[in-house]
Structure 1
């Protein structure tokens, strides 16, 4: 009798965590195999290339100098370097520091030091935006208040497409920064993609130096957002506090979310606006266990009925010090998520050539003596935001795409974006369901894409752009941490 039974091959789709595990296992296997092969291929070549007579070294540093001398004289690729000696010295220093196991101890060349200082002080000449890269596209994350970009109506979520006629998609972030920055007073024409439509802006560059932004909410609550603790932060903060006092504001919200820290002097200056003179701001414990104390200067501007501080997992270093100090000594209420947990203090040793060494000098403790390193400052009220706001988005490989009945991190990211924006999805675990396809097609139609049910890197970048725009223009309903802070103020 003929067998007419249909045989259907079952295919197991991997979930995102399984994909990561398999890739890691595959990578490990490849490395092991490569190591074995390389040992056979190169073992003989290296063994027969050793000099018969070793170089005699008088001291340990001479070993490094001898190696540099050999490379400068005989290295085949030496001519590819404009300044081989300087490159080797810089790389040797950085390699040495990388092996110490302290990620906060870093060497800066003159140019790198300038860039680092600008990142803290926001001191540069440009248009006044921050951005991030996703699959070759550069998306505006923040537009600084009163900056040239702000005055030109550049918006969060805009995708930077062209700068002075040059398409920047796929360029490195360094190349993009070079194109956008320029002397104050000079002009730059930037074409943005907004809702998948080109928007051209001619922007006059200016000096960017603001780290604080303040406003008054409902005529009775002062709000200050601090992006970093830079050289001008204390003075900027003071301007807002004086304005609040003049207008009778007695409740204040300090937003330290995503603030990675900065200057100790700025930190103590800001803490001194809230703490009486000689109150402890922080304690520092050095390598020998000695304790030094940084105290408030007592430059109090006003007293407040309520102080709320917003923090998240990216609030680090000086942000954590300020949060802990005001929590312990000023009755401040912390709302959000446990902070990063960087309880170390760095100092800078600068050299005559303009380079510098930033190294860990001490551990810091809260006024009561608590260490938060590796632990973080725990908020009084734990409030989470939508998970899409803390997602590291998938990076596509080549021209890969995803469609119905597949599982991927890219699909998970798209589902989170669609859900946040307001499209109906039945799941956010990375499985490309029918409901996901329907929601994606609705979005693609609205944005001018072909509604073919396919997720590409361009579509995911568009989704991410729309998500950021939704966040920045709908914080009154999306920012659950801020909503909770306002609830506390209204109690």
Structure 2
């Protein structure tokens, strides 16, 4: 239709030109295709010859033959002379040829291209339909499934993996083609967890972590330190599980359990061959339920039923002398502020005026909790920490309550495991008060803040969003807090122990890392040692024989696995049940007594 309209416009224009240039007669003209001329764009446009003839009664075509009609050669009959017969006309004719290009508008170009593509698509679709129809018939009728499966695997192996989504590409390959995947239950879940763990693992930030549902619950419980049990701590020494601490106001204390009692049996199950984790699972349970214990005390077996109760073991405290209180915070969980306040109430009633705040081995916790604890020792509105996000925006966290008590001076104990929120409190008190002394060893140095985002299945992503700075702008990350007075414990607590193998035995003149372990334990327990370099001297043998005698072991003077485990266990037991070897605590008491 567009061709007809454009052609009529051209004809009208030619007639007008003819009348202007040939006033003595009407110009008769003819249009015919003249091929295709090259164009700048990709479309091809037909070109027409326009022929002007001075004699209006005779038309000569391009081959010289006369015609009784005027025809537009692309199919449009312009005029037919039905009245006049063919006449001879010798009058000289003048022929003028013009090249006229038919213009295609953008819409016409797009339509023409779309029609061409659609036509090609229909041809391709028909071919593919026939191909897959035949392939499916042959594959299903002539070939076994195993063959087609193997063929599919071979084809997929020959193809490259999608660079745009490598994680899912690898996951799909492992799920479909990994040999060991057949033996793994919940393979999809495991691969997903491993992929996420790989995403969050980086050298810049070791504190961004992904937790499964079980790990997330355990992590949260570790911070809040809440559980349902009886309220004891125990230590395994070569198959013997010895109670090292009985918590105050717990079912264990009410039942009469004591430090040094051996956990012998629980609900009819012998505990001598159980690990510490297995014993915990047996003793802990639902609130209000009863666990039937048998304990060994001075070679007597005593039975006692103990009721389980929901407990929180977040803090501990005691009065050391008439005016010094001792408060230990294990973590900064939901109830740390309330627990600290209860102990401060006890200290105030006892007339305590100075405090030892023990943050050793405190790995941190919630910043809201550390702000609650700081409010006990700082005036309202005091800065506790500054938090800086990746855009450089700084938020200052301040105490929101009136200072709870005026206790002081304060000594804070820290060590290499004091981290995060525990470091926040240490810096806040030391910078905001003039009566704080820090004793111990350099702290861990964790100066970042993480938030938790949970998935619907209970798993969670804990990732770093900010760094924290002290009220004065100090960043302790990877540096830690240096104490005002550096005091180290016995060297046995900084030593890495080897695991002595079953069947090994060391005698005088032997050399082994296990002999070095033995010498350090003997020295800590108060026995004489002449060297700690792994060489088994005669003096070490004599003192080892004395240890064996004191604890009822076979007196050989040689180091076997049984003696090795007992040495290590007694070292831990003494540390957990007494304070006479705690040099850092002793220094804290000395500082406060001298003030």
State the TM bucket, normalised to the shorter chain: 0.7 to 0.9
Comparing 177-186 with 341-350, greater Cα deviation is found at 177-186
Comparing 236-245 with 365-374, greater Cα deviation is found at 236-245
Distance 1:253 1:206, change over 3 A: same
Q: Please say if 1:450 is aligned against 2:548.
A: no
Question: Cα offset for 1:412?
Answer: 1.7
Q: Distance in 1 between matches of 2:258 and 2:539?
A: 31
Q: Look up the SS of the partner of 2:319 in the other structure.
A: strand
Distance 1:106 1:144, change over 3 A: farther
Distance 1:181 1:479, change over 3 A: same
Of residues 235, 242, 250, the one that matches 2:345 is: 242
Provide, for residues 122-177 of structure 1, a one-character-per-residue CA deviation record: whole Å limited to 9, x for no partner. Answer: 11112334567788887766554334445556666777676556566776665444
Q: Please say if 1:393 is aligned against 2:497.
A: yes
Residue aligning to 2:370: 267
Residue aligning to 1:290: 393
Q: Look up the SS of the partner of 1:77 in the other structure.
A: helix
Question: Cα offset for 1:438?
Answer: 0.8
Q: Distance in 2 between matches of 1:261 and 1:361?
A: 17
Comparing 292-301 with 110-119, greater Cα deviation is found at 292-301
Residue aligning to 1:16: none
Residue aligning to 1:185: 288
Q: Distance in 2 between matches of 1:403 and 1:50?
A: 66
TM-score, length-scaled by structure 1: 0.80
Q: Distance in 2 between matches of 1:403 and 1:164?
A: 43
Distance 1:318 1:154, change over 3 A: farther
Q: Please say if 1:114 is aligned against 2:217.
A: yes
Where does structure 2 lack aligned partners over 5 or more consecutive residues? 1-153
Question: Cα offset for 1:280?
Answer: 1.3
Question: Cα offset for 1:270?
Answer: 0.5
Distance 1:211 1:89, change over 3 A: same
Provide, for residues 230-255 of structure 1, a one-character-per-residue CA deviation record: whole Å limited to 9, x for no partner. Answer: 10001111122233334443211111
Judge conservation of contact 1:126–1:181 (CA < 8 Å) in 2.
yes
Residue aligning to 1:45: none
Distance 1:127 1:366, change over 3 A: same
Where does structure 1 lack aligned partners over 5 or more consecutive residues? 1-48
**Residues 295-444 of structure 1 aligned to structure 2 (within 5 Å):** 295-331=398-434, 332-444=436-548
Q: CA RMSD in A?
A: 3.0
Comparing 397-406 with 439-448, greater Cα deviation is found at 397-406
Provide, for residues 347-371 of structure 1, a one-character-per-residue CA deviation record: whole Å limited to 9, x for no partner. Answer: 1112222111111222221111111
Q: Distance in 2 between matches of 1:230 and 1:443?
A: 42
Of residues 59, 66, 86, the one that matches 2:164 is: 59
**Residues 27-38 of structure 1 aligned to structure 2 (within 5 Å):** none
Judge conservation of contact 2:244–2:577 (CA < 8 Å) in 1.
no
Distance 1:262 1:375, change over 3 A: same
**Residues 196-211 of structure 1 aligned to structure 2 (within 5 Å):** 202=304, 203-211=306-314
Q: How many residues are aligned here? A: 440
Judge conservation of contact 1:131–1:140 (CA < 8 Å) in 2.
yes
Residue aligning to 2:26: none
Provide, for residues 297-340 of structure 1, a one-character-per-residue CA deviation record: whole Å limited to 9, x for no partner. Answer: 24311213411111111111111111111111112111111111
Task: Flag the structure with more relative contact order, 1 or 2, with Cα contacts below 8 A and sequence separation at least 6.
Answer: 1
Judge conservation of contact 1:134–1:393 (CA < 8 Å) in 2.
no
Question: Cα offset for 1:485?
Answer: 1.5
Distance 1:163 1:93, change over 3 A: farther
Question: Cα offset for 1:342?
Answer: 1.4
Q: Distance in 1 between matches of 2:507 and 2:301?
A: 30
Distance 1:399 1:290, change over 3 A: farther
Distance 1:67 1:413, change over 3 A: same
Distance 1:135 1:55, change over 3 A: farther
Comparing 238-247 with 89-98, greater Cα deviation is found at 238-247
Residue aligning to 1:465: 569
| Higher Cα radius of gyration | 2
Judge conservation of contact 1:282–1:294 (CA < 8 Å) in 2.
yes
